[in-house]
Structure 1
Amino acid sequence: MKKLKLPPKPFNGLKIWCRKCRQNNTGCKHEDSKCYRANVINPVTSKHSSKMLTALNYDDAVKQTIEFKKELHRKPSLRKKSEVQYKGNNYTLAEAILKFDLYLQSDGEYKHLKNKVSRKHRTETIGYCVQFCESLKPKHNLNTYKPSDVSKGDVANFFVLMEEKYGNHAFNKSFTSLTSFFNFLIDVEDLLLKNHFKNCIRKPIPKRKSITISKSEFDKILSAIDTAPPKYKTTHKGRMDNVYYPWLKHAFRLFLHIGGRREEILNLRWSDVYETDQGTKLFIIRNLKVERMFKDEDVEMKYAPIGVDLMDLLIEMGYDQKKDTDDKLIDPENLFTNNTLKEKLSDAFTHYRRCAGIEKNFTLKHLRKTYLTWVKQTMGERTNKLSSHSSMQVLKDHYLDPTIIDAIEIAALNVKIFG
């Protein structure tokens, strides 16, 4: 058999294993008993994993080692159910984190426990749990360390580490995540534990100042569209882009009177105008942000009542001629993708605000905040009736429940932006 060789500085974790000597890199003469072997330490469990490789040359051995590492470092969400099954509740803390990850996905043995959490939330939560696991390494052996072994001292040490690493908001999220993790072990896994994270103090989060736009400020921005130069500096290198388009004023006014997120309004078409049996017109808007978070189209809908001001705007834009058509309200010629439009509208709003001499630092998103502020002033606690519903079936069947209809009619009659 050809002699296996390693360079002076071999790939990390790659060794030559002798089956007779039962050792790595022995320098013995048992060439027929040697093979390349990958040796990896799992970063979560700290367990040693190895694999004898079939490669007969160094380059192939490196490729197989990399592939082996990928298998071990694969996220728990990608592991098969059988890989994370444990007998009883006698598992380590690291294994408990894998079970918690399955629980957050409603996967494996937790399929019957529906958890509506986004991928981002799950990844973030598991990340904080892994960081707690990492904080235990200097003092504990994670191969044998169980959830019941967690002490007040371990939590206090983690508290100090997170305090040094994060600001108040992320610090609080880390302890909320660990509290949820141990609640899962206690309530779902039925472990007899004390949740030391439950009563940990949280850091104060200063309230952000609420910024809304006044009528005079909005009117100044609309006026600036007619008088200010249409070029806007969009990069540090000084590139100037055109931000003026004939439909720009209409776009800003739609944002103000509908109150949706950018992508929701940019997707609106004339055929999205609905009418209740009582004669009240409204937009039914898909909650794209939530759909994307949960990868599910069966999420709450949002409603935008068409009051007098919005109806006047739609008529000005050609409602009588365009209703029931599939044309878009903004950029009807489809010159841009929605992502490009989002950036262009944001840049344009900021450009014309500055040209209008307004120093208050608000952006396009504050039109939505202004809308919701005025809606809440009229609707009070019923504001949420206009923002969501439980199913896409509303869009398909044109059905609205009575409380939704009542809220829409009141809003259409009474809500006026800027009073």
Structure 2
Amino acid sequence: MKKLKYKKFTGLHIVCKKCNKNIEVSSVPYRGCVHPIDKQKYKAIVKINGIRKTRDLKATEYDEAVKELLRFKEDLANPINITSMLPEIKYELLVDFIMMYSDWLENINVPKYEQKIRTPKYIRETIGYLLKLAQFLKDKGHDLEKLTIYQVNKFMLGDYYEHLKQTIKSPSTFNHNLRAIKNFYNFLVYEKELIILNIPKKMKLLYESPNPTTIADEDFLLLLSKINPEDSIQTLKNGVKKNRFRPYTKDGIELCAYTGMRLEEVTSLKYSDIIMSADRKLDYVIGTDLKFQRAHNSDSTKAVKTVYIPVSPELENLLKRLNYQENIGLDKYLIAGDENITRSSLAKQLSHSFTFYRRQAGLEDGISIKHLRKTFLTKLHLQTGLTESMGYQKTASVVLKNYIDKTAVAREVKRRNFSFFRTVGN
């Protein structure tokens, strides 16, 4: 497959607008990108006075891209010449504004006080949703090399809205797509100050009925019994074979279940987070609410929002298997602490492994590793009623609405012999 020519040159990079990332690395060019050349662009990334400046280059040949990069550097070094001699570049194309939005999400050329910390995953997914819109318009016969943002009207977006409703079953996934478009238009109207209608403002999100479900005890134990190295090879649709077993897979999944923390928070737990009592027994474990941190404390000006994880018999047994007594106090991860793997990669690996073994156990498709958190919080709520006091969520209403399995509550109430008239049946 044809790709843009890569040869190392300071400041010159190749980006894939489909992957939404730099795809060249000196040791491994293209980083496994499989998208065609029309999705790739040369990009200039240089620093002037400590400030990162970028520009998507128009050239598609290596030599011309180098010349364009050098002209860009020269322009940056002579800002007076830029404003007095060069004609103003007026961007109008839809795809150009999508790329501008991508840079803005990465805080490129954004004043420090306006910057927000966003994860690479969030940026990648957001731009992916917008590129899906662009591809839809292209499939409808619109030339993306000529389609301006001013030509995108309410009927075109209306067609895409109906397309999403017809092709996406999950209200949550539908809303992720639509929110990306809404936020994109907010960027165009309020950040770029374009004189356009904020069309998506009138588009309604689908109602997401929060009806949490939990994993039955016997189903979870069945899943755990399937985690072994003998039957662990998954063949993907493209024929690639993946080994879903690692020595720490079962421990990682159990730690999710017994702590009630989100997956990324579980992979970040360390031996130093285990708190011992005065008599040197397990007291509790301290976790960090990373979702809250990103949303409300990205600049670390407030105290870290901690979660006080209770030590159940199951968690105690797991910590013993993880040799906590020999490692207590160490700045070492509980899961895969000796492995050369990033925490984000570990989280993704555990999620894929859970799905694989869930299918091996014959459990329903609607169950994911996220349901372990719902299961834990439902059990904690039913047995103690102290869930929100431990810091798992900001308010009790969030816990009750999004995490508590109402069917489990109804069964527990019946088990406790609830009666409308207390004398009936006595």
TM normalised by structure 1 equals 0.50
Larger radius of gyration: 1
